[in-house]
Amino acid sequence: MARAVTSRRKALNTTLAWLVGFLIFFPILWTILTSFKTEADAIANPPVFLFFDWTLENYEVVQERSNYMRFLWNSIFIAGGSTILGLLVAIPAAWSMAFVPSRRTKDILLWMLSTKMLPAVGVLYPIYLLCIQLGVLDNRYALVVILMLINLPIIVWMLYTYFREIPGEILEAARMDGASLKDELLYVLTPMAIPGIASTLLLNFILAWNEAFWTLNLTAVDAAPLTAFIASYSSPEGLFFAKLSAASTMAIAPILILGWFSQKQLVRGLTFGAVK
Amino acid sequence: MFFKAALRTSTALALCVSATAAFAESHAPTITIATVNNGDMIRMQGYTDQFTEETGINVEWVTLEENVLRQRVTTDITTNGGQFDIMTIGMYETPIWGANGWLVPLDGLSEEYNVDDLLPAMRAGLSHDGTLYAAPFYGESSMIMYRTDLMDAAGLEMPEAPTWQFIREAAAAMDDPENGVNGVCLRGKPGWGEGGAFITVTGNSFGARWFDEDWNAQFDQPEWAEALNFYVSLMNDYGPDGYENNGFTENLNLFNQGLCGMWIDATVAASFVTNPEDSTVADSVGFALAPNSEGVDRRANWLWAWALAIPAGTQQEDAAMQFIEWATSTDYIELVAENEGWANVPPGARTSLYENPNYQDVPFAQMTLDSILAADPTNPTVDPVPYVGIQFVAIPEFAGIATEVSQEFAAAYAGQISVEEALENAQAITNEAMEAAGYR
Amino acid sequence: MAPAVFLLLVWMLVPLSMTVWFSLRSYLPLRGGDQGFVGLENFVRFVSSSAFWPSIVTTLMIVGGALLISIVFGILLAILLDQPMWGQGVVRILVIAPFFVMPTVSALVWKNMFMDPVNGLFAHLWRFFGADPVVWLSEMPIFALVVIVSWQWLPFATLILLTAIQSLDGEQMEAAEMDGAGPLSRFFYLTLPHLSRAITIVILIQTIFLLAVFAEIFVTTGGAFGTRTLTYLIYQRVLESQNVGLGSAGGVYAIILANIIALFLMRIVGKNLDR
């Protein structure tokens, strides 16, 4: 009896969850479907769902027009570089904040987060002039540094909240055993912090991948990532939905695949100290 | 310290990388071109290899959508950033930038380029004080595109040069809500280059103007009230739902789907609506001159060109000049005609194109030329004005002001405020900004 | 802590001091650049513009609306996803996918393929049921924007809330069920209090990102129909009007607003985090 109820409930849950999941995913699905239509089919009235002439024409056009691999590589380089650099800077900072808290630790954290709220466009001209002076316009390394700085508050905050969940007694025990600061960091803390670091890494990678203000305004040829690739397909004169959909699919596919494969890690560490 | 050190290290690294690259290609100069992602430019990119073969000059393209491009090149030119060797800009930017000395004057063009072949209106609009600062790649005006089948069914005939009053009559006759057909589709979308441009030329054709000769805003004048009221009532009665969100692309989609009786917009749209691959109404499109209000001596014709300019201070001036001569030459037009047919060549830049018998067979060629000839940027309105430009005012402050004004108008189209309120707000916004800029 | 905090200090101070510097000057790129010191003129002009206060209200409405939707639906989704079901992993993948999409792309997709009053899927749906299609972007522009932004941020909220729910003590739940507590009272007396920390975290992190929402407005309404947020107003002043001084003054106001909100949030979060 009890089992029957559970099983019926499970079926109900499943149906409902799949329905909601489908609805939320639908805009992405629709974009992917549209990328296989002709421009005329893409605005057909009434809309066609599955029964149209599937074509790879849009992907061919996009492939021919843009050097997708260069944009992709720049995106990987910038998002990856800024994430790794950010972690290198943030781990020691978050570590000391979590285990050697001072009276001001909380204030510093709050203030760091509030720097995230500075509207980017307000400092476009100052930063652009600075980049000219340093000679780093259209430079991947400069973007790595800038995006790292933009996302640093979030990284530090995430790691801080995660590190704080690590019980202090373990460290004390290690210290009793004669572990040096370096050992402590390397052999005790890091393994425990891996899930937190992994999800911080993923979150930051996603944020950097999708950043579309600085990556557009400070690049031209050499450093232009996928955000610039998209900007060359949106809203020209003439029909563009199908080609834009193809370009969009190509721009989000890598991050979508990465996200799907790593979603367990992302979920596990994405607590921000909310779980105790 | 760390910040600077990091930046320095990265600069040094980048310099090494680029130095190596530069060494490898030192014998072949590379130019970087920023351009808009419209069809004619995309086509030009496809022929870049031919240019490189002929001259040994490599070309890097930065292709962006219009709004992003404009923001990108403006930031770069005003700060002397030096990211591009050629910029694709329009008729609005060229005279302003030229006056500031930011562009290389194009007075060294070769004999065979034949600069006198450029359409006079285009040449005038891309010059400052008689010096050409940008070479037109393609040019456009605005005209009426209409469904010949629906006009026949309504028992009407489109004159060569209709009035707004006739447009209203025809819209009423063709409007067919049962079948989703709107009498007329026009731009209402906020933005100075979208709905802003359209309502400005509409104003011109009712005898209105942006400023009097002392730079006072004129939205409190009866001509503006008449123009805006006419537009709003025409669109509310016979236009599509949500026309306040429709720009060029949205209207093109509607027209291609057969949902518009008439559409007044850029002449370059003609090649899209007559292309059977994209358009369901390709074989029943007619063309006519943009309308005027009865008795007003100006039509709703605008004038625009996408043009190539060289920012002052580029290291590759000669190579850039060579590219511009190649891309805007008659040879390029013939190259495209040979490979893709005459209907696909970049229109509206050269007189010789319209004298070419092959091109005269293209159905929209004559009307495009007539529309361009009907537009006069130095004399755009009935009453005299202190500015140059038809659908814009060639002063640096205009883009910002007109975008805000067009947002007020769009709020009136959407019924959020009345036409009178929109005009009052527009008047206040414009005068306030002009005062801040020191004109008044 | 030195390097990270120091870096942030530099990052904060260089652009901030440049912003403050430019806000005191008349800097007009298209008129040849720096026109000299003008005192507080830019600050006065920015606030006295008729667009200023509406932009603050719009900002708060969009941030508030998106927060409300992502938290309410986030909790419901998290509870649903926590239930036993078949294919949980796949559903979770479907639900978090929007978080990976670039804001420009999602705004273009929503605007053209869903909210378009003629060709959009919503319009077809409305017509199918015999209703007049809604012109989303001008009839209910703020709601439309909130929907787009919430769609992007709902996955993030759901993930955090789901992690929190999964840590809920199952035995306590069962005990409450034995005692005859209905699902509603279990939700209000057990689940919700347990989630309060997670909810404050979601509010904090999302507010930071929502205050800076730009691409969605740029692509859909361009700031028309009452959707001009403070961020967008600053964009218009800097890049459309090409008045860097005026825009910089706006930037200073934005920092002040952000700090007021931050302070307010930190009060709540700080309390919740210390527990």
CA atoms of A258 and A75, how far apart (whole Å): 13
Check residues A99 and B82 and name the one with the higher pLDDT: B82
What is the number of other CB atoms lying within 10 angstroms of the CB of residue A223?
23
C70-95 residue pLDDT tens? 999 999 999 998 888 888 888 988 99
Helix (H) or strand (E) holding B185: strand B182-185
Q: Encoding tokens for residue B336?
A: 């495209």
Average pLDDT over residues B44-56: 93
pLDDT level of residue B13 (50, 70, 90 thresholds):
very low
**Amino acid (1-letter code) at residue A143:** L
Taking CB atoms and an 8 Å limit, are C84 and A6 in contact across chains? yes
Q: For residue B14, is pLDDT > 60?
A: no
Is the CB of B75 inside 8 Å of chain A's CB atoms?
yes
Contact C177, C93 (CB under 8 A): no
Q: How many residues does chain C have?
A: 275
Which residues, including other chains, have CB under 8 Å from residue C188's CB and lie 6 or more apart? none
Taking CB atoms and an 8 Å limit, are C18 and A256 in contact across chains? no
pLDDT level of residue A271 (50, 70, 90 thresholds):
low
pLDDT level of residue B225 (50, 70, 90 thresholds):
very high
B100-122 residue pLDDT tens? 999 999 988 998 999 999 999 99
Task: Name the CATH architecture for the domain at A68-269.
Answer: Orthogonal Bundle (1.10)
Nearest residue on chain A to B180, judged by CA atoms? A45
Check residues B52 and C27 and name the one with the higher pLDDT: B52
A162-177 residue pLDDT tens? 888 777 777 777 777 7
> Could you write out the DSSP letters of every residue in B123-173?
HHHTEETTEE-SEEEEEE-EEEEEEHHHHHHHT----SS-BHHHHHHHHHH
Taking CB atoms and an 8 Å limit, are B248 and A237 in contact across chains? yes
Q: Which of C134, C228, C241 to mutate to test the interface with B (most CBs of B within 10 A)?
A: C241
Which residues, including other chains, have CB under 8 Å from residue A104's CB and lie 6 or more apart? none
pLDDT at C271: 65
Q: Encoding tokens for residue C178?
A: 């034995």
Taking CB atoms and an 8 Å limit, are B10 and A141 in contact across chains? yes
Contact B318, A79 (CB under 8 A): no
- Alpha carbon C191 to chain centroid, angstroms: 25
pLDDT at A2: 44
Does residue B187 sit in helix, strand or coil? coil
pLDDT level of residue C262 (50, 70, 90 thresholds):
confident
Interface partners of B (3+ CB pairs, < 8 Å)? Answer: A, C
The per-type count for chain C, helices as H runs and strands as E runs, is 14, 2
Average pLDDT over residues C62-69: 95
Q: Which of A45, A114, A158, A241 to mutate to test the interface with C (most CBs of C within 10 A)?
A: A114
Tell me the pLDDT of chain C averaged across its residues. 86
> What residues of C are in the B interface, CB distance below 8 Å?
3, 6-7, 10-11, 14, 28-33, 45, 49-51, 116-119, 132-133, 135, 137-139, 218, 221-226, 228, 236-237, 239-243
Q: For residue A130, is pLDDT > 50?
A: yes
pLDDT at A273: 61
B369-415 residue pLDDT tens? 999 999 988 889 999 999 989 999 999 999 999 999 999 999 999 99
Is the CB of B369 inside 8 Å of chain C's CB atoms?
no
pLDDT at A66: 87
**Amino acid (1-letter code) at residue C2:** A
Across the interface, of B11, B39, B64, the residue whose CB is closest to A238 is: B39
pLDDT at C256: 85
pLDDT at C10: 73
Q: For residue C189, is pLDDT > 60?
A: yes
pLDDT level of residue B15 (50, 70, 90 thresholds):
very low
Average pLDDT over residues C97-120: 88
Q: For residue A116, is pLDDT > 80?
A: no
SS3 content of chain B, % helix, strand, coil (to 5): 50, 15, 35
Taking CB atoms and an 8 Å limit, are C164 and A274 in contact across chains? yes
Rg (CA), chain B: 23
pLDDT level of residue C273 (50, 70, 90 thresholds):
low
Could you tell me the domains of chain B? 21-140+304-360 (3.40.190.10), 142-302+379-436 (3.40.190.10)
pLDDT at C260: 84
SS3 content of chain C, % helix, strand, coil (to 5): 75, 5, 20
**Amino acid (1-letter code) at residue A268:** R
> Could you write out the DSSP letters of every residue in C144-202?
HHHHHHHHHHHHHHHHHHHHHHHTS-HHHHHHHHHTT--HHHHIIIIIHHHHHHHHHHH
Is the CB of A88 inside 8 Å of chain B's CB atoms?
no
A203-223 residue pLDDT tens? 899 999 999 889 999 999 999
Q: How far apart are the first and last CA of chain A?
A: 36
Nearest-neighbour CA in chain B from C63: distance (Å): 22
Compute CA distances B404 → B218, B290, C111, C232, C254, whole Å: 16, 26, 21, 12, 21
CA atoms of C244 and C256, how far apart (whole Å): 18
Average pLDDT over residues C200-226: 88
pLDDT at A134: 92
Is the CB of B252 inside 8 Å of chain A's CB atoms?
yes
Burial (CB count within 10 angstroms: exposed 0-12, middle 13-18, buried 19+), residue C88: middle
| Region at B298 (left for phi over 0; alpha for psi -120 to 50; beta for the rest) | beta
Average pLDDT over residues C48-68: 93
pLDDT level of residue A110 (50, 70, 90 thresholds):
confident
pLDDT at A1: 38
CA atoms of A11 and B426, how far apart (whole Å): 59
Q: Which of B407, B408, B416, B435 to mutate to test the interface with C (most CBs of C within 10 A)?
A: B407
Among A90-94, A255-259, B198-202, the range with the most confident prediction by mean pLDDT is B198-202
CA atoms of B373 and B350, how far apart (whole Å): 12
Is the CB of C106 inside 8 Å of chain A's CB atoms?
yes
**What number of C-beta contacts closer than 8 Å exist between A and C?**
257
Task: Name the CATH architecture for the domain at C68-195.
Answer: Orthogonal Bundle (1.10)
Rg (CA), chain A: 23
B297-332 residue pLDDT tens? 999 999 999 999 999 989 999 999 999 999 999 999
Compute CA distances B305 → B102, B311, B396, C121, whole Å: 19, 18, 18, 36
pLDDT at B7: 46
Q: For residue B440, is pLDDT > 80?
A: no
Which residues, including other chains, have CB under 8 Å from residue B52's CB and lie 6 or more apart? B58, B59
Does residue A159 sit in helix, strand or coil? helix
Domain spans of chain A?
A: 2-59, 68-269
